Amino acid sequence: MTGTATPTGTRHLDQGIAPDRYARGWHCLGLERRFTDGKPHSVPAFGGKLVVWQDSSGGLNVLDGYCRHMGGDLTQGQVKGDEIACPFHDWRWGGDGKCKQIPYARRVPLRARTQRYATAIRNQQLFIWFDPEGSAADESLLPPELPGLTSGKYTDWVWETEQIEGSNCRELIDNVVDMAHFYYVHLAFPTSFRNVFEGQQATQFMESKGRPDVSGGYGSEEFFLKSEATYYGPSYMINWLWTDYKGFKTEVVLINTHIATGPDSFTLQYGIIVEKPEGMDDETAAFIGQKYADMFGQGFLQDVHIWKNKVPVQNPLLCEEDGPVYQLRRWYEQFYVDVADITPDMTDRFEFEVDTDKANEFWQDEVAANLARKAEEDAAAEAAADNEGADPALMSGT
């Protein structure tokens, strides 16, 4: 049912249909080092697959994964010189998308050209430009370089990948404005929450502290977090995090990036680097980096569990504290329409700050009740344990 309400006032969910195109812009395929071993690599993307390989000059090339001759899977081929050779008939394709050689043929057909993707390296990661309209890559829209990344300021990347089935990637984008889920899903009090959308950037500013009544996620009453997270285009977020745990302060950079593999599936990747504390050896710094990767990775898995068990909602029923969901979705829509159809309300500056006072007042009371109940349960369990260990003769009074 597509309606939102019946004559009796019952509201119905409009689940809609997934977009019939993929987002225009720069998409991250992963860390550059993953693709520099001289072998072809398969990357599921945009309803098909891509082949990625390094040529003799060190450049990374990306083509559609299927040979235009008879449909062979190029990701199962070989790198021969600068070309990727199809395993079916050895047609050899260059990084410019042109067939360079057919070993058994006198000449290469003039129309022997396949889909290539412009590439760029940012923050030690490989990006490709995708546009259903076929526009030239716009390098001005690439995300910024992280200062200090190549000078040893940070630990090496800890990089993880998750395949998400049954969810459109917009579910991930909606989190940008979702203040309340940080309490219920990530186990923290969001004490300050603000959004700014402008052009091709959408930013979330948040401050939070952990909940003392739970563990896991961001749940620890001694964990304080300040976060500034910006999407640069449709799929790549840089999240600057400043943490304070028991007085130990750390700067963390979290990359959250995804690429659609189908209308209802995407590959989620996230990477962590941690600023090396002055005087700390590399091994200890790497250990801290892995710990933060584990923690924030657990946070992503908490979201994944929700996505796998919810339905899409085109007409969410909102309260004021839910934030600018519809405005965010309007911003996101710019990547799914032709450039000529982008309207000012998709790109004009928009700001919104959520009043977190009412929410935190309720949550503090709820947490206090949880702690009191746990204290009663612990006391009862301790008393029961003491009784089990008591002398039966003393307990009977004889």
Domains of the chain: 25-141 (2.102.10.10), 150-357 (3.90.380.10)
Residue 394 has pLDDT above 50, yes or no: no
| Nearest by Cα to 224 from 203, 213, 208 | 208
Residue 316 has pLDDT above 50, yes or no: yes
Lowest mean pLDDT among 15-19, 157-161, 234-238, 244-248: 244-248
Q: What is the pLDDT of residue 223?
A: 82
Looking at residue 273, its amino acid is: I
Q: What is the pLDDT of residue 286?
A: 85
Question: What's the mean per-residue pLDDT of the chain?
Answer: 92
Looking at per-residue pLDDT, the higher value among 82 and 166 belongs to 82
What phi, psi does 308 have (nearest 5°)? -70, -15
Looking at per-residue pLDDT, the higher value among 298 and 175 belongs to 175
3-state SS class at 86: coil
| Radius of gyration of the chain, Cα coordinates, nearest whole angstrom | 26
Beta-carbon-side half-sphere exposure of residue 26 (alpha carbons within 13 Å): 24
Looking at residue 373, its amino acid is: R
CB-based burial label for 371 (10 Å; 0-12, 13-18, 19+)? middle
Q: Where are the beta strands (DSSP E) in the chain?
A: 25-31, 41-45, 48-54, 60-64, 78-80, 83-85, 92-93, 99-101, 119-122, 125-130, 158-165, 188-198, 201-210, 223-232, 236-245, 248-262, 265-274, 350-354
Lowest mean pLDDT among 31-40, 87-96, 386-395: 386-395
Confidence band of 398 (pLDDT split at 50, 70, 90): very low
Cα torsion 75, 81, 86, 92: sign: positive
Q: What is the pLDDT of residue 192?
A: 97
Q: What is the residue-wise DSSP string for 210-272?
A: E-TT--BTTB-TTEEEEEEEEEESSSEEEEEEEEEETTEEEEEEEEEEEEEEETTEEEEEEEE
Q: What is the pLDDT of residue 216?
A: 63
Q: What is the pLDDT of residue 4?
A: 58
| Dist CA 231 CA 238 (whole Å) | 7
| Nearest by Cα to 95 from 43, 140, 56 | 56
Q: What is the pLDDT of residue 219?
A: 56
Lowest mean pLDDT among 21-25, 307-311, 314-318: 307-311
Neighbours of 333 (CB within 10 A): 17
Q: What is the pLDDT of residue 397?
A: 40
In percent, the amount of the chain with pLDDT more than 90 equals 74
Q: What is the pLDDT of residue 217?
A: 58
Mean pLDDT of 200-217: 90
Place of tokens 């799914």: 336
| Dist CA 89 CA 152 (whole Å) | 46
In percent, the amount of the chain with pLDDT more than 70 equals 94
**CB 216, CB 187: distance < 8 Å:** yes
Mean pLDDT of 260-266: 95
For the stretch 336-373, pLDDT in tens is 999 999 999 999 999 999 999 999 999 999 999 999 99
Looking at residue 77, its amino acid is: G
| Dist CA 62 CA 132 (whole Å) | 16
Mean pLDDT of 162-172: 91
